[in-house]
Copies of this chain bind each other. A is one copy, B any other.
């Protein structure tokens, strides 16, 4: 994994349980000052969601059992629901989905290609890791939009992803084939690097590179901690 921030290793902390009152007070760090223009934001968020949907569709089509197909079809419906929610927002502003997604195609198609995975289980990890990370990321980026737009976009992105069904499918596959776990742990590490790259590409850089890094660091530290918890849920080391 690329070491994004020189000081990162010194700062990573084991996630701790907070009391409810502490949680309510804590505000997530956001990236509002690096939010790109509305059309760019929505085009990236929608085209990435469509990419996640395509990967999930492939996971349904190549699932080893009908039971897996049935479970994954719920996940794919949730992803498509998020995409459609973003399209509603796109059209509300007089854009078209194709119009705002087209300029984002090159980088995101390449992201999809390099994160494709060699088989069904790697593809499922891709769906799980990239969707989790990117939903979190765009939720942090949304506060830089107008408040009403941000509220609606965050509502769409925070809808239930049915990720627990991906965890169940992957855990079953790992239990049935213990050697799969170490391969998927490696795959997860590669994925988080590629996902951070595509996320950084979505940012609107300021003139001052150092100040961007200073803003990014705490957010990416939190996003990586969430990624670590996601891999933990599979019993894998991030």
Contact = CB atoms under 8 A, between A and B. Distances in A.
Nearest to A104: B66
Interface stretch (A49-57, A179-187, A207-215): A49-57
9 nearest A-B residue pairs (beta carbon): A57-B57, A67-B98, A54-B61, A70-B97, A70-B98, A66-B102, A66-B101, A66-B98, A77-B80
Contacts of A60: 50, 53-54, 57
A76 interface: yes
Interface string A64-87: 011101110100110010011001
Contact of A58 (B61, B84, B87, B105): B61
A96 interface: yes
A41 interface: no
A138 interface: no
Interface in A17-69: 47, 50, 53-54, 57-58, 60-61, 65-67, 69
